[in-house]
Amino acid sequence: MKVGFIGFGEVASTLSVGLMENGAEVYTCIDGRSTRTRNNILQTGVETYPTYKELAENSDILISSVVPSKAIEVAEMVGKYSKGIYVDINNVSPKTVVDTLDKIENGKTVDAAIIGSVFKNGVNVNVIASGSFANEFADLKNYGMNITVVGSVNGQASGIKLLRSSYTKGVSALLFESIYHGYKMGIDKEVLKYISETECPDFIESAKSRIISAAFHAHRRSEEMDEIVEMLSGKQDPVMAKGILDFFKILGENIKKPEKRPTDYNEIFEYLMKIKE
Amino acid sequence: MKVGFIGFGEVASTLSVGLMENGAEVYTCIDGRSTRTRNNILQTGVETYPTYKELAENSDILISSVVPSKAIEVAEMVGKYSKGIYVDINNVSPKTVVDTLDKIENGKTVDAAIIGSVFKNGVNVNVIASGSFANEFADLKNYGMNITVVGSVNGQASGIKLLRSSYTKGVSALLFESIYHGYKMGIDKEVLKYISETECPDFIESAKSRIISAAFHAHRRSEEMDEIVEMLSGKQDPVMAKGILDFFKILGENIKKPEKRPTDYNEIFEYLMKIKE
């Protein structure tokens, strides 16, 4: 099994190492890459092709793992050369993934999405896949990957990821707003306690962590919510998603990302109370 | 121990029965009451005073349990007669409860809030209390009630209840929006499944029930959110609470409350999809 990667960041390098350990041959292309990326590739032991054309022609499964804004561009570049199955694993909206995969002329395409952290889970990270060749992509389970086919249509896997992400970001925003207000009234611990009575046993610890993450990653989350609001904006007005977007936008503007992740939400709340005086 | 009730709806009648079973003497006033309420009072076996003045003068603990819009009015009416401890257990904002309790001239006041359902839990329902006489009110634990003192300042108990309520309503709105959009894409079950992986074991069942309740009680929830948005509107803009308010307002306008609670969210989603065509 020959697996090719377009792009070689954290996702590609982590998956590559795991796939090779499980007997797959892994390739990428070094054309136009920075010295840092070339060194990264050399370290993992992945084989290279001099051109993307050759990479695309020789891969059984070709996985695009680039920055979201480049997803369509790279599909266009290799669209007429891809002989095997083309997999877009980038963090993009269902509409973008459909437009991207439309560039692949042989039509053997898969929409894939990573659920959870590659950093924490390695090659075993949860990957969901949809599209006409999702079952064939899922053969990589024989090479250490953890793939679940969720449908046969491009856009479904990305849609699941984005809707899940909208929900979890929303919960963080709700927690932040309620507990911050409670903090100002001196009742934050009690609000957490009484919410926890209808939640999971570890709710309070996880809520505190979510509040801190909300502030620490506010800017990035507002960018991700932009994509989600665009996806949801159709006949119905996605009022909750828009609220989450506004929430993270305002929080990101108010709070400068500290160098170190705060260990307690008090630090964040005190800072916000000071600048709002 | 003589406990008086102003107002005699579900909360007062349920607590009265439980308090009497545990040895308390319970009183109310029938002045100006409807025949239905008088019959209700007779059935429970609660004693009555002909005037609110006498009720207020003779109660060790006087509990106001009226419709939220009447909370201040009844406090004004008995403010100079209340000899014991005056407890406002109405579903009002911290600001309203402070204004209400300011009418009680002897200053022996308690802000109390019911967490959960009186219908389901009876006299044992979770009651939280704050205010200068919260500890004395908590003596009713000896008569079957389940009271937790959460602070010494009026407004804290009501604040906890409202912030908790804002969070739980928000979660329902988030679920509804994400799963409804997933339903339209044919991936609602998968979105629930992948959200559930980082949630409690019974998440999927409880999420479905929350989605149905969101539609069934949309109008009432939008009214409750009005109160919460007003409470949170200060220096910070409560964008999430406003989103929740808008969400339930729009849902309540779009969906006519059916006579029976739907058993499946499909019914609700199909109805919404039809009217939006």
Stretch A205-224: mean pLDDT: 92
Tell whether B177 is within 8 A of chain A (Cβ).
yes
What confidence tens digit (pLDDT) does each residue in B135-182 have? Answer: 999 999 999 999 999 999 999 999 999 999 999 999 999 999 999 999
Mean residue pLDDT of chain B comes to: 93
> What is the ipTM metric for this complex?
0.89
- Which residues of B fall within a CB distance of 8 Å from A242? 243
Tens-digit pLDDT profile for residues A179-190: 999 999 999 999
The per-residue pLDDT for B117 is 87
* Model confidence at B277: pLDDT above 60: no
Tell me the pLDDT band of A235, cut-offs 50, 70 and 90: low
- Across the interface, whether the CB atoms of B200 and A197 are under 8 A apart is answered no
Q: Going edge to edge, which strands form the sheet with B146-149?
A: B47-49, B25-29, B2-6, B61-64, B85-88, B109-115, B126-130, B146-149
Pairing of strands A126-130, A109-115: antiparallel
- Is 0.90 surpassed by the pTM of this model? no
* C-alpha span between B191 and A4 (Å, rounded): 29
Q: Which residue has the higher pLDDT, B32 or A105?
A: A105
Question: Which residue of chain A has the CA closest to B127?
Answer: A194
Task: Identify the band that residue A201 occupies on the pLDDT scale cut at 50, 70 and 90.
Answer: confident
pLDDT in tens, B33-43: 888 888 889 88
Whether A250 sits inside 8 A of B237 (CB atoms) is: yes
Which amino acid type is present at position B234? G
A174 touches chain B (CB under 8 A): yes
Averaged pLDDT, B112-134: 94
pLDDT at B276: 65
Residues of A in contact with B126 (CB under 8 A): 197
**Nearest CB to A178; choose among B128, B163, B187:** B163
Residue numbers in B near A179 (CB within 8 A): 163
Place of tokens 């010295």: A35
What mean pLDDT do residues A205-221 have?
A: 92
Residue contact A191–B160, C-beta within 8 A: yes
For the ranges B106-110, B168-172, B269-273, the lowest mean pLDDT is seen at: B269-273
Distance of CA B129 to the CA centre of its chain: 14
CB-based contact A166:A244 (threshold 8 Å): yes
Q: How far is CA A141 from the centre of its chain?
A: 20
Residues from chain B contacting residue A171 (CB–CB below 8 Å)? 171, 174
Confidence of residue B260 (pLDDT cuts 50, 70, 90): confident
Distance from CA of B49 to the nearest CA of A (A): 37
CB pairs under 8 A between A and B: 157
From A66's Cα to the closest Cα of chain B, the distance in A is: 24
pLDDT > 90? residue B233: no
| Residue B77: per-residue pLDDT | 97
Residues 222-241 of A with CB under 8 A from B: 232, 235-241
Please give the domain boundaries of chain B with CATH numbers for all domains: 2-153 (3.40.50.720), 159-275 (1.10.1040.10)
Burial (CB count within 10 angstroms: exposed 0-12, middle 13-18, buried 19+), residue B275: exposed
